[in-house]
Amino acid sequence: MIIGYARVSTSQQNLDSQIETLKAAGCEKIYCDEMSGTKRDRPELNKLLQEVVRNGDTIVVTKIDRLARSIIDLNKIVQEAKNKEVTIHFLSEDMKFDGRDENSSLQMLLFNMLAAFAQFERDLIVERTSEGRERAKKQGKHLGRPARNEKDIERALKLYFSRSTNGHSVNDIVKLTGVPRSTIYHEIKKRKT
């Protein structure tokens, strides 16, 4: 069986192009995760490796960095697949690791070099993000979610405290005002103390 694996780092990114590429490569099933490639505990990847693939299957991934962002994790995943005699095929790099054969030392060298570049790219992203955060803090910019409108918070609290007369649940109040549940409870706690 040919099984695809796709991954994006955040829910704001789109899996569509990876899924389309995997389908074109003949994947019968596709497993997708929306989380960082640095995390080893990815539910769909774990399910794929531990429960789904069988001897002789092929896992297809669009690019090496979609499978993992660290050399250690990539090698662990490839070795785990090889132990099950499962082939991993990276489309972009046109590289296959066949679980039934030993791969050449040159292919392993190239794989590890590409993995190192994926990890390096990830490290650069983290570094640049940290630098940007520090620069923004020094400039006095607010980081994180935008502050909530005080009028919306007041409206939410009025609705909350008049629940006995208006019958609104906290879920209703969140929908009506757009104020998150955590903000409502935080403000209630502040007012009670």
- pLDDT tens for residues 116-133? 888 888 888 889 988 888
User: Known catalytic residue: 162?
Assistant: no
Please determine, for residue 110, whether its predicted confidence score (pLDDT) is greater than 70.
yes
Taking the complete model, does pTM exceed 0.75, yes or no? no
In single-letter form, the type of residue at position 104 comes to S
48 CA to centre of own chain: 16
Residue 19: band (very low, low, confident or very high) from pLDDT cuts 50, 70, 90: very high
- Which pLDDT score, from 0 to 100, does residue 157 have? 87
Nearest alpha-carbon partner for 31 in 54, 51, 13, 5: 5
Mean pLDDT of the chain: 85
- Which pLDDT score, from 0 to 100, does residue 5 have? 95
Please determine, for residue 50, whether its predicted confidence score (pLDDT) is greater than 80.
yes
Which of 9, 17, 36, 105 is catalytic? The answer is: 9
- Which pLDDT score, from 0 to 100, does residue 6 have? 95
- Number of C-beta neighbours around residue 14 at 10 A: 9
In single-letter form, the type of residue at position 86 comes to V
Q: Helices (H), strands (E): how many in the chain?
A: 9, 5
Percent of the chain with pLDDT over 90: 24
Domain boundaries of the chain, sorted by first residue: 2-121, 150-192
- pLDDT tens for residues 63-72? 988 998 788 8
Superfamily of domain 2-121: Resolvase, N-terminal catalytic domain (3.40.50.1390)
